[in-house]
Amino acid sequence: MCEDKFEQYMKEERRYLYERINLLRLFKPGNIGFRDVFFRYSFTVMGFENMVEHCSYNQTRNFIDSRKFTLSEEEIVSCNQWLNDYCNAPYTLLKESIDEFSWGLEQDDTPTGFEQHITALEMTLLPQNQTGKKQMLANRISAMLGNSPAEIQQLYQKVMNFYRFRSESLHEGNDSNITDTELHDLENITREVLKKCLIRCKIEYDLDSSITWNEIKNQIMNDLIRQVISLKNEGILPA
């Protein structure tokens, strides 16, 4: 009689739990996630108390990733503020990209996780069905994250290399270049891009609560187009 309510209860609890875990995964690197999730739903029907219990079992990269997710005393304060600031509306606006990033973290196959992170970056910074993705994404990531000409050029080359590694893996069956070091490097770049976009989502939502992700994405892309043109004119990025 209460199956629909129980399903709705589990759906809402999962939504809350995954939102918080995904925000923690964005806050800083480290292995954090679920193994077993236990649900207990109590209800009363015609004066009789009833209880339904359910266990959801998860087996992901958590089992083989040795990195610990830890917080210092100072980080606890800033992490709680992060969770408070970017939950709900800002998170929902960027949810598809965050889910893709999180799915990459959960892959126990390194090349597959690598692929998911690149997909998350493409979803976030490129138009749909964009041609010439490799150079455009390298330009935009380096413009967004680089703080000096040398850092911008280094990021550009890293992203170009990441695309080459992915192509070798997908089309040649050679994944020798996709090591844990390369995977974590790409993971951190993806994390920093998503954090900047999530901050932008909050800013724009606070100004206009009816704004959509596509509108925010267009603003971000237009800003990056102008930055890339400027960097090319200065000779920092290749023309």
**Cβ(194)–Cβ(101) below 8 Å:** yes
**pLDDT at 59 (0 to 100):** 66
The number of domains in the chain is 2
* Domain carrying residue 35: 1-71
On whether both 101 and 185 belong to a single domain, the answer is: yes
Query: Is residue 133 classed exposed, middle or buried when 0-12, 13-18 and 19+ CB atoms within 10 A define those classes?
Result: middle
Within a domain: residue 7?
yes
On whether both 24 and 106 belong to a single domain, the answer is: no
**pLDDT at 211 (0 to 100):** 98
> Above 80 in pLDDT, residue 47?
no
> Above 60 in pLDDT, residue 57?
yes
Within a domain: residue 81?
no
Rounded distance, CA 96 to CA 102, Å? Answer: 10
Instruction: Give residue-wise pLDDT tens across range 8-24.
Output: 888 888 899 999 999 99
On whether both 111 and 221 belong to a single domain, the answer is: yes
Per cent of the chain over pLDDT 90 is: 71
Instruction: Give residue-wise pLDDT tens across range 117-156.
Output: 999 999 999 999 888 899 999 999 999 999 999 999 999 9
On whether both 66 and 91 belong to a single domain, the answer is: no
More confident of the two residues 208 and 108: 208
pTM for the predicted model, two decimal places = 0.90
Within a domain: residue 77?
no
